Structure 1
Amino acid sequence: MHHLFRLVLGQRDLSRAGDLFSLEDAVIEDCLSEALEEIKAISCSPDYLTNDNDQAVVEICITRITTAIRETRSIERHGAALVSLWESCLEHNLQPQGKDEDTPHAKIASDITSCILQNYNQPPVMALAVPVAVKFLQGGNKELSRNMSSYLSLAAIAKADLLAEHTEAITCSVLRGTDHSRGGYTGTRTVPLLKLKTPPSPHRAALLTDLRL
């Protein structure tokens, strides 16, 4: 791992975290997966929810890492580590605290989502991401669910086969969101694209009837 990442993450040194943006993307690209693994360990620690310093360090490091991944186009290389961190957020509370205040792990998930799912036209990345995205649809956080639904609609257009095995879960999510408050509206665009890929089911039949799809 680059020595600055080791310092910032190893010692939770918030005062040096901003210096990561002074490094060239190519200089740190090799160590991004290792840094993501360290971030996962930090975010899963028992005191993370109450440690504002650690949360700030993680937020800055994730921003730096996702920027570097985009700029170096290295999502396939670091996708597994990124998805692993993303999925770990599902083990924690994602429900907003107070009015529109995301939990620390909901913030991590939100920061990572676009970096992963904007690659909806890259099958190797989506093969890792789609099963996790479907879990987020069922996770109860309205904003995350809405974002997942939007990206899955794009993925269904680009490569419906990747989503076909998850048709049942996606359909159930849309049925729960028919009030359009949990991403259901966008999700209704996804189901018709998948319906030819899988056998009919009672859930999907109900959805298509209710929404006239």
Structure 2
Amino acid sequence: MSNSLNLNPMEKAKMFQVKRWMHELFSQVLTRKDLSKAGELFSLEDNDIKNDLTAVLESICEIAKSPEYASSDNNQSVVEICITRVTSAIRETHSIEENVVGLVKLLEVCNTHNLKQSVKDTDPPHVKIASDIMSCLFMHYGKEKVMTLAIPVAVKFLTCDHKELSHNVASYLSLAAIDNADMLAKYMDLIVSSILKGKCALARVLPQIFTQNCDPVLQHVDELVGMLEQCGVSERVSLLQVFGLIAKSKPKVLEKHISLFCKYVSVSTLLPLILTMFVDMATANPVVFVDHVTSLKEIAEQQPVYIHQVVQIIGALGTVSQLIMFQ
């Protein structure tokens, strides 16, 4: 006998409504929040449920935004299993573009709920949903239709109080920036303010979108230079790449920070970026390097491969004759 016969009248009505659009097993699991049946979803063929995924996502949204969801372990488990099954089917059937609207709608639902990290290190249930959905969406960062819908919603999570989730968003946006710089540049103000609040991973996005919207960065150059100390090496590389772009057009705004930049010349991955930036700054206003000639000479002596850049900087000061000591 079918398990559907055990439903009460209200559940039967709901199930009848849902069954018109999705596989009976999905219908039963989502209507009754039947965790005992949820595992059977993985026995279904992907192509057999491909056309049901929109309706499934709509049902998941309804459960996830219900008042009792945050306190129901059963409902949370049902939703997590269903999302895993849905995202797997989307991946295997290459149907992300057909389902992006439903995924983004579910992501929007998550953003309206509590995402604050608990002192007990237990994540609010909507954090898990948001993480899984964004992972599915940004796997397809090269698809314009997907990113057009996903990016405006994803950036809203930069302001959430969940450290790992906001860090993951930063990583996803770094991927998205590869093919969608124009889209992300619209959110430069939010990205810069998030970096200044300590979300340093976002610095990796800046070099890719700076030329599309440079004003928010230029307005906060001093603060961004100050963030170098808080950043890891990869984020420092990204910030210095941006400062290198600034040095080509507005070098004066960086002049007060030369001493701070010199603190990082001992880092092999940063030195070439710093020297390239210094060359452009010296070309525009060589006098600012008068107090740094000794440091520059030491760089040339210790790292002969960079002598050409050092010569350019000191040469701009009219002291090329002093370079005889390098020979």
Measured against aligned partners, the alpha-carbon deviations of 1:121-155 in whole angstroms (never above 9, x if no partner) come to: 11110111111111011112111111110111111
Measured against aligned partners, the alpha-carbon deviations of 1:53-103 in whole angstroms (never above 9, x if no partner) come to: 111110110000011011111111000100110111011101122332111
Structure 1 unaligned spans of 5+: 178-183
Measured against aligned partners, the alpha-carbon deviations of 1:13-34 in whole angstroms (never above 9, x if no partner) come to: 1111111000011100111111
Tell me: CA distance 1:53–1:203, structure 2 relative to 1, closer, same or farther (3 Å).
Answer: farther
- Assess if the C-alpha contact under 8 Å between 2:117 and 2:161 holds in 1: no
Quick one: which amino acid aligns to residue 225 of structure 2?
Answer: T
Aligned equivalent of 1:19? 40
Quick one: which amino acid aligns to residue 161 of structure 1?
Answer: D
Q: 1:117 & 1:64 partners in 2: Cα distance?
A: 18
Tell me: CA distance 1:26–1:193, structure 2 relative to 1, closer, same or farther (3 Å).
Answer: same
Q: 1:57 & 1:82 partners in 2: Cα distance?
A: 17
Aligned equivalent of 2:169? 148
In the TM superposition, residue 207 of structure 1 has moved relative to its aligned partner by: 4.8
In the TM superposition, residue 203 of structure 1 has moved relative to its aligned partner by: 4.8
Q: 1:204 & 1:35 partners in 2: Cα distance?
A: 45
SS in 1 for 2:178: helix
* Greater RCO (Cα-Cα under 8 Å, separation 6 or more): 1
Aligned equivalent of 2:225? 209
Q: 2:221 & 2:99 partners in 1: Cα distance?
A: 39
SS in 2 for 1:140: coil
Aligned equivalent of 2:78? 57
In the TM superposition, residue 44 of structure 1 has moved relative to its aligned partner by: 0.8
Structure whose CA Rg is larger = 2
- Assess if the C-alpha contact under 8 Å between 2:61 and 2:109 holds in 1: yes
Q: 1:52 & 1:134 partners in 2: Cα distance?
A: 28
- Assess if the C-alpha contact under 8 Å between 1:29 and 1:72 holds in 2: yes
Q: 2:100 & 2:156 partners in 1: Cα distance?
A: 17
Quick one: which amino acid aligns to residue 186 of structure 1?
Answer: A
- Assess if the C-alpha contact under 8 Å between 2:96 and 2:146 holds in 1: yes
In the TM superposition, residue 199 of structure 1 has moved relative to its aligned partner by: 4.2
In the TM superposition, residue 156 of structure 1 has moved relative to its aligned partner by: 1.0
Normalising by structure 1, we get a TM-score of: 0.92
Aligned equivalent of 1:72? 93
Aligned equivalent of 2:178? 157
Quick one: which amino acid aligns to residue 209 of structure 1?
Answer: V
In the TM superposition, residue 205 of structure 1 has moved relative to its aligned partner by: 3.0
Aligned equivalent of 2:154? 133
Quick one: which amino acid aligns to residue 30 of structure 1?
Answer: N
SS in 2 for 1:6: helix
Q: 2:220 & 2:93 partners in 1: Cα distance?
A: 40
In the TM superposition, residue 192 of structure 1 has moved relative to its aligned partner by: 2.1
Among candidates 120, 144, 151, match of residue 141 of structure 2: 120
Among candidates 204, 225, 229, match of residue 189 of structure 1: 204
Tell me: CA distance 1:134–1:203, structure 2 relative to 1, closer, same or farther (3 Å).
Answer: farther
Structure 2 unaligned spans of 5+: 1-21, 229-238, 241-327
- Assess if the C-alpha contact under 8 Å between 2:196 and 2:224 holds in 1: no
- Assess if the C-alpha contact under 8 Å between 1:76 and 1:125 holds in 2: yes
- Assess if the C-alpha contact under 8 Å between 1:137 and 1:149 holds in 2: yes
Q: Percent identity?
A: 51
- Assess if the C-alpha contact under 8 Å between 1:168 and 1:203 holds in 2: no
Confirm or deny that 1:200 pairs with 2:221: no
Q: 2:23 & 2:190 partners in 1: Cα distance?
A: 41
Aligned equivalent of 2:26? 5
- Segments of 4+ moved more than 6 angstroms: none
- Assess if the C-alpha contact under 8 Å between 1:13 and 1:57 holds in 2: yes
Q: 1:78 & 1:204 partners in 2: Cα distance?
A: 39
- Assess if the C-alpha contact under 8 Å between 1:153 and 1:187 holds in 2: yes
In the TM superposition, residue 169 of structure 1 has moved relative to its aligned partner by: 0.9
Aligned length: 207
